[in-house]
Structure formats: C-alpha cells, structure tokens
Structure 1
Amino acid sequence: MKSKIHEYQKRNIKNMSKKALVIIALSITVLSCNKPATAVKEVKTAYVDTSVLMKEYTEAKDLEAKYKAKSEEKGRQLDAEIARFKQEAAGFQAQAQANGQAWAQQKGAELQKREQQLGAAQQQLAQELQQESGKEMDSLVSGVKKFIKTYGKEKGYSYIYGTGDAASILYAEDKYDITKEIIKELNDKYKSATPKEAEAKK
C-alpha cells in the first residue's frame, strides 16, 4: 500500500514539475513580449523638384544656350532664303498683271515649289537639332540620376523622390526638399570638370 502511495506521489511531483516548466516558459515569453522594442531605424527621405533643378543646373543651361546658338547659326542662311522668297512672292501680284497669265501660272508654280522646299528644309533642320540636343539631354539626365543615387547613398537616405514636371509626389513638407543642395553639388561638380574638359578638347 505504501509503495502505491509512493508511486502516486512521484507521478504527481513529475506532473507538477512539468506544469511548472510550462508556466515558467510562458512567463518568459510574456516578459520578452513586454520588453521595450528596439528602436526602429528612422527612414531618411527627401525629394528633388526636377523642373527647378533643370532650370538652375549650369550644364543644362549651357546645353540650352549651345543649341540656341547652333539653331541661329544654321538657320541664318535659311532665313535669308525665306526673306528673299517672301520679297519675291510679295511682288508677284504686280508682275503677274504686267507679264500676263502664262507667266503668272509658271511663276506661281515655281514659287509654290520653293515654298514647299523651304518648309521641308526648316523641318529637317529642326529635326536634326532636336535629335542632337535630345541625345545630349538624355546623357545629362542619366548623369543627374546617377549623381542623385550616389548622393543618396553617401548621405544615408532611404528614398529620394522626384517632383516637378513628372510629379511622383502629391504633397511633401518643405523640410524634405533637397533641391538646392543637389543643384549646388551638381554645379560645383560641373564647374570643376569644365576646365578639364575644355583642356582635353584642345
């Protein structure tokens, strides 16, 4: 009889110790859940107004000035031809009355053909300049994107958004605007690179 009581006591102690272990484990879990969470890393974010950047970036302004000058230079000869054509077309009416219908028809056809040729020449010149400037502008934009990516990594930003003409942000506080910083850095970089590039072209 004693041995049965002894066995029962042993089993009871064993069960109690198992329960105690479960309670301790649960207590540890609850305590660990109640511990203050480790500080979440702050997400550093900013945005750049791309339309302002392209207006204030010296290289973009230089590129615009370059193609404006190129357009004026290449268009000068064409403009002289257009001016001559307009002068001739203006006098056509008076000459037609003096030279007769046959002359007027022939001259009218010639003027119409020249007008079409001049229009085609204008269009071709515009396309050529657009293609040339487009390639350089694409290269410039690509360079700006690479610069911002490097800048973002160096300054520890998680995100740098773009806003402006191709807006991807509907609202942002002014304190997150780093447009001026980016413009200054880009202009400083371009300014320091320009003399070297000019030297290399010589």
Structure 2
Amino acid sequence: GKTTLSRIIAGIIEPTSGEMNIRIGEDWVDMTKPGIDERGRAKEYIGLLHQEYDLFPHRTVLDNLTDSIGLEFPKELAMRKAIVTLRMAGFTEEKSKEILNRFPGELSDGERHRVALAQVLIKEPSLVILDEPTGTMDPITKQDVKHSILHARDEMDETFIVVSHDMDFVRDVCDRVALMRGGKIIQIGTTAEVLGQVTEDDRRD
C-alpha cells in the first residue's frame, strides 16, 4: 500500500478513484488527470528514489549524475553542478570532488545511497519521494542515510515524503506522519502524536 501510494503521488500509477492534488508553484495540479497540463506537468517537479535504486555500475559518479539521466552540460559546468548536488546529499566538497571519477562499486553502501539521492536532487525537484530509503541496511549505514536526508531537506527547503516501515527512522527524519493500515491512511498528525499511538502490528506492517 505504501509503495503504491508513493507511485501514485509521483504520477507513475494512475489512481482508480479519489482525488489527489499537488501544489506546483502557486498552482494546484490534479494528479488524477492525464496530460501535459495536469499530471504530466507535475511529474517534472517530482523526484522519486526507489527502494531498489540503480546506479550504472560501468559509469562514473559524474556520468551517473549527468549523462545517464539526460542532463547535458559542458564538462566544467557538469562537474560544478555534480559537486553542488553531492554536497546537498551530505558529502563534503573534498569528498565530492574525490568520488566524481569513481565507479559505484568503489563506494560504500551509504555513499552509493547518497549518490542515488543526488541523482534525484540534481533535477531540482519541488517534491522528493523516498521509498523505503533504509531497506535492510545495517545501523551505521542507516545513520549515514538519515544524515544525508536531513541535510538535503534543509539545503533544498522542499517537501520530502519518506515511505518507511521503520518507525525509529521515521521519528528521526519526519515532521508529520500518515499511518497506513490495510492500504488505507488511518491517521495523520505530528510525528509525536502518531508514533505515540503506534501498535506492534503497525510496526510489523
């Protein structure tokens, strides 16, 4: 249910019923309506990082951030934009420069996740959706991912939607929570309000 909802919000799946509107600038866009003036228009401003994200293993970090997602810049400009975006995802400037010509296999799990996040952020979306960003990560990598998400959110000052069953992670990165059960949203409120009433069954879901 959670992943399906995230894909509906991203405009990948068309909802079968109900209403969903996303604010783009000063306008509200009806995501139930296809076409370049409605859902197609909003999709340009939405970034989605899938749980099973893919970095091209035979491309460098720089190529993954630019060529492979269709952004064409002169090399110097591409490098500057990549460094700015990697810093936004939580790398230092020195580390950003250091990894530009590395391949994904030469990075740690946490570093690869940050590069994948940067791949979403480089398009400057107004809404960022992260689907199960921690998955089955070990505790140290989870901490790295948490810090990169918080840093990116603060740097961009845009809306982030985190889809997760990890309530501890949600508590650390979210201001508001929508709790789903059986494919339906049953409660929306501040993180403290909602997580204070979460049951063990909810944690397992």
* TM-score under structure 2 length normalisation: 0.20
Higher RCO structure, 1 or 2 (CA under 8 Å, sep 6+): 1
The structure whose residues are more often helix, as a share, is 1
